[in-house]
Amino acid sequence: MRALVKYGNKDGEVRIADVPMPEIGPDDILLQTKAVGICGWDIEMWRHKMANPVTVPVIQGHEFCGVIDKVGANITDWKVGDRVVSETGAEICGSCPQCLTGNYQLCSKRKGFGYGVDGAFTDYVKVRRGCLHHLPDNVDFDYGCLTEPACVAYQALVVLSDVRPGTPVLIIGPGPVGLFALQIAKACSAGPVMVAGVDKDAPRFEVAKQLGADRIINVMKQDPKEVVMEMTKGLGCPLVVDAAGNSKALELAVFAVARQGQITKIGWGPKPVDFSLDPLLSKAARIQGTFSHNWPTWEAVIAMISQESLKMEPMISHRITIDQWEETFKAIEESEGVKAVMQFNR
Ligand SMILES: [Zn+2]
Ligand SMILES: [Zn+2]
C-alpha cells in the first residue's frame, strides 16, 4: 500500500513510498483509513523543524478515523465494520502514575502515531484497542478525523482553564486549534471572545467571524493592547489562550490577562522568551500548560460534533488524495485555508 513517509532528517525528506500492510497481534485492531487531518506537526516534520524527536522512517498522520477491518484474537468488544476514530497515543506504559490515574497522555513512555509509531497517511493502520472511540453514524468521516485538534482545545479550555459564561476571552492565533478554542469558548457562553492574528491569517479571520468571534484583531493593523482594554473596560481578560506559541504572543498574553486571570498556553515556542514575566506577579495571574487529551475529553468532543455544537464544515478548506500532499502542505504552511483532510478508501 502507498503511504506518506518521512524517510530522513532533512528539510523536505518526505515522499510517497510503498509499505507492507501492518500485521496485527492478538490485542490489536486493524483500521481501514477513511480520513486523516493534516496537522501543523506534519508540516514541521516535513520541514524537519519539530519540537520533539522523530524516529525515521515513519508514516506520518495522527488525526484519523475509519472502519475496523480486522480484530485480534483477544478483542471481543469491537467488531469488523465499526466506524471508529482513534486517539493519538499509539503506545503508553500502562503502569506509571499518569497511566494509572487516566492521564495517560502525559505518560513519559508515550509514543504517538505519525512520529513515534507508524501513522495513518495510508490505507490501513494498526491501533491498540484502548485508542478507539465509536464514531456516531451522523458524523461524516471528514469531520471525525478532526476530533483530535478539537480535543486539544477542549482539554485546554474546559479541563484546564476557567472559562466562564459572560466573561471575556482572548485567543491568540487563529489556526485550527485556535478556531476550535473559539468554538468551545462560545459553546460555554464566554464573551466577548476576541481572536488575534497577523496579516497572513486573513482567510482564517473570515472563518473566525463565521464561527461567532466578537472581535477580530489583526495585530499588524491595530494595537491589540488598546483593543483588549477597550473590549474589557480596562480590566483585561480572565482567560487568555495562546494558540500561537511565539514570544510576541506570550508577551501580549501577559499584558492582556486580567488580575488573578489565567493564560493557557497551547502553542509551542521553542525559543526563549525575551521579556519580563513580572506583570504576572503583580497581577497574581498564572500560566497553565496543556498537552494532548484523554478518554473523557474524546467522548465529550465526539458528542459535541454529533450534536453540531462544534461546526466542522467551516474548519475544512481542502479535501485531497495522497497524491496532492505536497501542494497542500505548502498551502497550509502559507496559512491558505484552515484544515486539510486527506481521504483514503473512498
Ligand atoms: Zn494534530
Ligand atoms: Zn505510563
96-130 pLDDT per residue, tens = 999 999 999 999 999 999 998 999 999 999 999 99
Give mean pLDDT, residues 300-322. Answer: 98
220-276 pLDDT per residue, tens = 999 999 999 999 999 999 999 999 999 999 999 999 999 999 999 999 988 899 999
Structural domains for the chain: 2-146+312-343 (3.90.180.10), 151-289 (3.40.50.720)
Residue 52 has pLDDT above 80, yes or no: no
Prediction pTM value: 0.96
C-alpha cell at position 143: 469531520
Q: Which ligand is nearest to the CA of 112?
A: 1
User: Among residues of the chain, what percentage have pLDDT more than 70?
Assistant: 100
313-336 pLDDT per residue, tens = 999 999 999 999 999 999 999 989
Residues around ion ligand 2, judged by CB within 5 A, are 92-93, 96, 99, 107
| 279 — pLDDT class (breaks 50, 70, 90) | very high
Q: Across the chain, what does the average pLDDT equal? A: 97
Give mean pLDDT, residues 183-207. Answer: 97
| 54 — pLDDT class (breaks 50, 70, 90) | confident
Beta strands in 148-278 (DSSP E): 169-172, 193-197, 215-218, 237-242, 257-265
| 51 — pLDDT class (breaks 50, 70, 90) | confident
Q: How far apart are CA 92 and CA 97, in angstroms?
A: 12
Exposure string of 173-187, with b = 16+ CB inside 10 Å and e = fewer, is bbbbbbbbbbbbbbb
7-18 pLDDT per residue, tens = 999 999 999 999
Q: Which ligand is nearest to the CA of 91?
A: 2
pLDDT for 50 equals 83
Give mean pLDDT, residues 292-309. Answer: 98
Ligand 1 centroid to Cα of residue 231, in Å, is 32
316 forms beta bridges with 339
Ligand 2 centroid to Cα of residue 104, in Å, is 6
